[in-house]
Structure 1
Amino acid sequence: MMNRIFLILLVCNITLISTLKPGGFQNLDVEGAATESVAKFAVRELGSKYKLVEIVSGKKQVVNGEKYKLKLKVEKKTRGEKKKRRCTVVVLMMPHYSYKELEEFHCYLVKEEI
């Protein structure tokens, strides 16, 4: 009987541990002030021709600081014309060092809807 209980507890424990993702990305509230601050920082780093339109989604990972992975809708002004783009950005923030860095960004043009 004790062996059976031990086996059940062991299986439950292994199942619980396998579903946890320590250090993994967690979903963010895209309307949160911290998320908006990170998105605005990333867009500023892209350059003055870019303007934030919307935060589509976001994830955060706790590292030696916080790593944010955001999907954004932006506008880029080129020769007086505004074109919509989708961007994925990765920002590393280390508040204890007063450090922020745009680590990655990938933007692509969005075709205008008819």
Structure 2
Amino acid sequence: MYGVQGARVYPTPDQAAVLNRTFGCGRLVWNRTLAWRQHRYRADGATTSYAQSDRYLTELKRDPEFGFLFDVLLRAVAADVAAPVHGVRELLRRPGSSPGTVSSR
């Protein structure tokens, strides 16, 4: 039997700003990586490995426009690079569905 336990967190304004920045960067990385992977697949029929996605993240961080990615928790951002790889694996297990972009709601 599994149990669920909930908890509320009340961050300070500074902590909330860090969390918002981290989640925003995670959405940006996820959406950019997913779009890049889909473009590669549609244009060339090429699949993308985790290592290729990781190199793409490195290229993004080198771009002066995305220099702010160094200011956030890089593990959280790197996890969003790995997510499309795992999402594609799940997609192959469940035909008829597709991974989508992440919105801030």
- TM-score bracket relative to the smaller structure: under 0.3
The structure with more helix, counted as a fraction of residues: 2
Higher relative contact order (CA 8 A, sep 6+): 2
Question: What TM-score, normalized to structure 1?
Answer: 0.24
The structure with more strand, counted as a fraction of residues: 1
Question: What TM-score, normalized to structure 2?
Answer: 0.26
Rg larger in structure? 1
